[in-house]
Amino acid sequence: MSGKYLLDTNAIIYAINRKLKLPLNSYAVSVITKLELLSWPSLTRDDERQLEAVLQKIPVIELEAPIQDAAIKIRRTTSLKLPDSIISATAIVGDFVLVTDDEKLSNRHVGKTISLAELVP
């Protein structure tokens, strides 16, 4: 499977924990994912270094005005939490397939989603 993929926070955590190698594609993350990953209270210094190394290889999509506007609409119509609404909006505005194992986000995201297992069989 090839294309443009936006990796949700849980997809990155699961990929790292399972030592998965993602297939060659175009990947990105939302700035929200970066914040969620690096602000975990029990994050060790080794974990932080590993996450920073991963994030240096993947473009981080900032919270530009079109993403903000889309996130507002998504939040109002789906009742997703604000971080998930921003991640969903980032995928939609950037024309990404959202990679997530979060069932609630996957079910309420109006764009295309796949699970990590579908991306890395």
Q: What is the pLDDT of residues 80-91, one digit of tens each?
A: 999 999 999 999
Average pLDDT over residues 31-56: 93
The pLDDT assigned to 2 comes to 55
What pLDDT, on the 0 to 100 scale, is given for residue 24?
84
Cα–Cα distance for residue pair 48/66, rounded to 1 Å: 30
Residue 67 to residue 57: CA distance in whole angstroms: 22
- Which residues constitute the domain of residue 60? 4-119
Mean pLDDT in the chain? 93
The CATH number of whichever domain residue 12 belongs to comes to 3.40.50.1010
Looking at the structure of the chain, the number of domains it has is 1
Q: Is the pLDDT of residue 31 over 80?
A: yes
The pTM (predicted TM-score) of the whole model is 0.93
